[in-house]
Chains A and B, each alone.
Chain A
Amino acid sequence: MNLDFMNSQSYYVNSFKEGKISTNEVFDKIFLSGKRRKLQNNAVDEVILSNSIAELNSLIGLNNVKTLVDELLAYSDIQRKRRENGLNTEPMALHMVFKGNPGTGKTTIARLLGRIFKGKGLLETGHLVEIERADLVGEYIGHTAQKARDQIKKALGGILFIDEAYSLARGGEKDFGKEAIDALVKGMEDHKDNLILILAGYKDEMDSFIKTNPGLKSRFPIHMIFDDYSLEDLLEIAELMLEKRQYKISLSGRAKLSQILASKRARDGIHSGNARLVRNLIESSIRKQAVRLKTNKGDHTIEDLMMLTREDFIEY
């Protein structure tokens, strides 16, 4: 232990002994490794925190996610209190795996978590860097590690969100995806106090991805499952979206929307798109409504401009 310490840092210790570098520099190099300098001194930002928590609570469904966020917030409060009282605190690894079908809110939650952690002082900036396989895997040997390091550098202080992460294990033994995984694991260990890595993808694919890479399971202690929305949830989401855009939906329109959603879900299963399907349907109905209003010459009342009716909803 002692020998190790002196050997790995011996260059700096020797230059210090020779009087070439300052005390502060040598302390940084041997104890703070030159990079762990900023952690844990991030301030709590109440405004960002309360806004983002309110936004999280306004989301439909996602109850297990909300519970987990509560847990993490309580944990970090108690850690702070413990530190103030001189008790030991372990920095907790917050790397996560998000499992769920498309449109179940994985990216939305990741973006919100960044802001919540920033507000809590757990992350420096809390921004989200969203990448996929192509951003990580290079074209020739050695290229991949470089690319992965660049992405990590970009994400420092925030969240690195890898969509369809299981595709990194695609392509067998000779694929560079393996190299990318190794580089990521290295990066997340090195910067564990200032970077959160989130792997996202379909539940089954993610499960087998993590199972086939034994090093990953222990490094991602938090697993969140994003269930498909129920039909009622989807209709509620639709209303929330319409409210935000200042539109209304007629009763018959609502029935039609419900019917389209039900038939889509029955036909496409997990690929139906959940909340994203709702958004697409609403956006297309808004376009249809515009066309309908334009062809009906005459004055449009405010009610007309806001109301989406049955004929605006068309299955595409």
Chain B
Amino acid sequence: MKKCILIGKSNVGKTSFFVSFVEYLGIKRLNILFKGPQGGFQYRSYTTEMAKSLLISESPFKTKEICEIGISVPVYKGNKVFQLQDTSGIVDGMCRDDEVRKSMVLTFKTLEEAGIILHMIDTSRIFRRGESTIGPIDDQINLYGTNRGSYCILASKTDLEDGEKGYELLRKKYCNSLVIPVSTFNQRGYKEVMEFVVRNL
């Protein structure tokens, strides 16, 4: 089964997208496989509401494990299946927290094995000083992704103020890659993401 990874800096909205995208696909009950940094794993089952309140948080590094969910989509007369993986965010530069570093290693491992890469960048805070969401690590992921193939950028939070401006900037900056604007607020771009994933299965 092909694996489709959501990757990006911390707090760009990976988990929000994960839950809301699964909801968009009509899956009522989320059976998520959690893979911990130590190698342990565990199945848990959530309703959409539970998942939203338990998995998503305002503060960075909420997701410490790899959350994996099997998805099946109808294509013509049959079905295609893939696994969507939500990962722990990666940060630029030196990181002081041991736990966070371990989960980043796990993210790298998952990236290596992934078949499709969805690279998420927050559009709403690109222009805000001091906490800009675009960093060297994004360039690195982009470079890796464009050379690997099956790679696209999800420009998240486009419904927020400055979102459109950020999306335009992303399109210019990464002109070699496909950039899809998405928003968990109004489900913008979900159809395009679905089409992109199916095309690469």
Contact = CB atoms under 8 A, between A and B. Distances in A.
Interface of A: 1-2, 5-6, 13, 16-17, 19, 21-24, 26-28, 30-32, 36-37, 39-41, 80, 83-91, 193
B9 to A, nearest CB: 10
A23 B152 contact: no
B161 interface: no
Given A5-B112, A84-B178, A17 B101 contact: yes
Contact of A24 (B137, B146, B147, B196): B137
A32 B136 CA distance: 13
Contact of B200 (A1, A21, A40, A88): A88
A23 B104 contact: yes
B3 to A, nearest CB: 12
Given A5-B109, A31-B140, A19 B96 contact: yes
Interface of B: 90-96, 98, 101-102, 104-105, 108-109, 111-113, 136-137, 140-141, 143-144, 146-147, 149-152, 175-178, 196, 199-200
Contacts of A24: 92-93, 136-137, 140
A80 B177 CA distance: 9
Contacts of B137: 23-24, 27
Contacts of B109: 2, 5-6
B140 A84 contact: no
16 contacts: A17-B98, A17-B101, A21-B94, A23-B95, A28-B140, A32-B143, A37-B143, A39-B143, A84-B176, A86-B152, A86-B178, A86-B196, A87-B199, A88-B150, A91-B147, A193-B147
A16 B178 CA distance: 31
Given A85-B178, A86-B177, A23 B90 contact: yes
A247 to B, nearest CB: 49
A169 B108 CA distance: 44
A86 B177 CA distance: 6
A22 B91 CA distance: 9
A80 to B, nearest CB: 8
Nearest to A37: B143
Contacts of A83: 146, 176-177
Chain B interface helix/strand/loop/mixed? helix
A193 to B, nearest CB: 8
Contacts of B98: 17, 19
Contact of B143 (A41, A86, A89): A41
A88 B152 CA distance: 10
Nearest to B140: A27
A62 to B, nearest CB: 33
A22 B175 contact: no
What are the nearest 3 A-B pairs in CB distance?
Answer: A86-B178, A88-B149, A31-B144
Contact of B108 (A30, A88, A193): A30
Contact of B92 (A23, A87, A91): A23
Nearest to A21: B94
Nearest to A6: B109
Nearest to B37: A17
Residue among A36, A86, A91 with max Cβ neighbours from chain B (10 Å):
A86
B92 A89 contact: no
Contacts of A30: 108, 112
B108 A27 contact: yes
A26 B104 CA distance: 10
A6 B108 CA distance: 10
A83 B148 CA distance: 11
A2 B113 contact: yes
Contacts of A193: 147
Contacts of B150: 88
Contacts of B112: 2, 5, 30-31
Nearest to B152: A86
A95 B198 CA distance: 34
Contacts of B144: 27, 31-32
Contacts of B105: 13, 16-17
Residue among B95, B141, B149 with max Cβ neighbours from chain A (10 Å):
B149
A32 to B, nearest CB: 6
